[in-house]
Structure 1
């Protein structure tokens, strides 16, 4: 599978995911565990929703 999550998008996903998980661990609401999703997609550099929407934030590689 091709990566479709680029640099800034990837870093934001990882940071938001970690922040939400930390909030959940520190007694935040149950829904804060949704942070697992952006964390996983950021670490994998792949978002399953992007192809459905025709999106990609990866820079185009030139030969």
Structure 2
């Protein structure tokens, strides 16, 4: 699978993934009263976003034909 996540898409995935990680941990440790199930869901979504953001590969983007990597201008 070629890279298909880049630019603002990649940055957004990483930033939102980090925020969801913090929120999920806060929920699971009791610092934020949104519930343990919501905390686990936040951590799972965060993991997906962080992996797709750092590897720059997203199977959903590939399935629908979306590519947000910059075009080569050479």
TM-score scaled by structure 2?
0.77
Query: Which residues in structure 2 correspond to 1:28-43 (within 5 Å)?
Result: 29=38, 30-33=40-43, 34-43=45-54
Decide which structure has the larger Cα Rg and report it. Answer: 2
Aligned length in residues: 63
Gap regions ≥5 residues in structure 2: 28-33
Gaps of 5+ in 1: none
Aligned-partner Cα distance in 1 for 2:62–2:12: 19
- CA RMSD, aligned part only? 1.2
Higher fraction of helix:
2
Stretches of 4+ aligned residues off by more than 2 angstroms: none
Report which stretch shifted further, 28-37 or 47-56. 28-37
Q: Which residue number corresponds to residue 55 of structure 2?
A: 44
Measure how far apart 1:31 and its partner are.
1.3
